[in-house]
Chain A
Amino acid sequence: MTSMPDVEFVVRTIAQTAVDNETYFGDLDSVVGDGDFGYSLARGFEIVLSDWDSYDRTDISTFLQKVAMAITGRIGGTSGPIWGTSFLRAAGAVRGKDDLDGADAVAMLRAAIEGIKARGQADVGDKTLLDALVPTTDAIEAALADGKTSDEIVAIAATTARASADATTPMIAKRGRAAYTGERSIGSPDAGAVAVAVIFEALASTWPNREEG
């Protein structure tokens, strides 16, 4: 079972990873985009971290909703609407629950994915973060069905996310600013997909040793 401290751990890891990888994500984005991805994400998640103690923690859903509002309202570029919507949908998927199980985690990821698709009018194959997030969620669901432990599942998620991010390299960007370069977007991985991989890798390296709530 996952409780509020675990959710806080995951959100904090996402935020810290975004801040720590500002330059790396920005460099990835500047290959075919405009280089603002790393900067936007870092400035926004800095706010999430600095306001950390102020978020309403009545329950998990409320906490995620408050984080979502901070992200949506304060992060610029495409990142604010996309990442904020995904947190908001994840919050909606677990409303009223105090403890989450693996199926809840998958439901949150599926809800986030649907939110990203709707907000960004994108789908799998468009060379966006969805190309990492969807196969990773599929892998998590399969690992749950196989009865894996949470440590094992997070490790599988990280491996899948990285392989999926790498697999965006030969794709043509069809959404976002990279899409304007058409076939020239071939040859470099999608910055958002790589960010998803780096976040899951950070979770995989720290999850087994977290302080359990």
Chain B
Amino acid sequence: MKKVFAMLFTLFIGSILLVACSSKDSKESKGNSEVTEITYWQYTFPTKVEQIDKIIADFEKENPDIKVVAQDFPYDQYQNKIFAAVEAGDRPDILNIYNGWISKYVDMDYIQPIREEFMSKEEISDYYVDMIQPYELDGEFYTLPVAVRSLALFWNKDMYKEAGLDPESPPKTWEELIENAKAMTEMTDDGRYKKEGFGWNAAGQGLHEFQQVLLRQYGVEPYSEDASKVLWNEKQEGYDAFKYWLDMTMVHKIGDPDVGNTYREAFLAGIAGMIVDGSFAVGDIQNASFDWGVTTLPVLEEGGLQSNYASYWTNAIAKGVEGKKLEASERFLAYLIQEDVQKDWLENVGELPASKALIADEELVNDPTYGPFIEGLDYAHATFFVNEDKERQIIIDGVDKIRLEDADYDETFDEIVTKIQEVRDEFFNKQ
């Protein structure tokens, strides 16, 4: 016992010494006053992390007086980390956030507006694609994105062949999509999916597909001009669109959210015939073992209204960053949003350039893979979220009520709208 104890005690002291020494190191690195150090936070998306590291290396070469420290965190804990850090007064200088979070972060006083001297509102509006406009809050822009994302339809040509469909003619209308999907769906005798024709979901891109694509195609403007009113059920067409969307899984049984963990995984595994996903999925799908294609989102009827949903990850300077650090952060942001960097970004990360000029590039528009996404950007809408998490959860819960508990379509739809309206009221009344 004595021996064991002595051994443990030595180990304990030893570890403490080791630990104590290691904590000293981290303090000393701040010594050099010539160089301004700024921190950049993002979530762990391996290709993005690699790309940012590359950009930083180039940037530091040109700007030897600035050192950028990039740090990344698991996605499901990223917002918690930001929260804890800001609450402790230990925030980073630049935050990479999702557009759906901007209003929350402005509301919480976490991020500061882009200074007029750095980039004026006119410059921002001229430089970027139109979809960043909704996020001009109280007459200020708070973030600058490198890239944007839109949606397109991926289809598995091998599965098309197997089902006796023409692998080169993906659906142009939703009706065709349902027909093709039906042909590809395979079920077991007890009603479980072996293969789904369409990766139907409400939790991923599905809810955006509904509010910004289907609703608009049915002639419903989803939100009022200032985004304060939810107008989904203003007209009968809204109810129709909702029913049409849900019937895909409820009546036509062309797909289910449970197939293959997520719809993208299901598609990659060759058990989903079609999915709607963003350009950022291309990187993964490129490695798929089957033949695939990508095309623009379906419309209601041929020649009908085209619509798309756009979103983006964007960069904000944290509140309280000032002086040398602010200047350094702005210089880094300016470097980050350059057109050359955006081009590289598309190649390596798969997100589309955010600059108006680049989007018009002929070569890009005709690209077989990225072309449909670029085309989609033309008629894409970015939803202005006041509380992305909550709004998303309300839709998912509503859809689950119908899927799992056979709730009434119209009642549930009204309930969803009412709840989202409450969230928006809370936000806009505070303003």
Indicate whether A and B interact.
Answer: no
Q: Which residues from chain A sit less than 8 Å from chain B, CB to CB?
A: none
B residues lining the A interface (CB < 8 Å): none
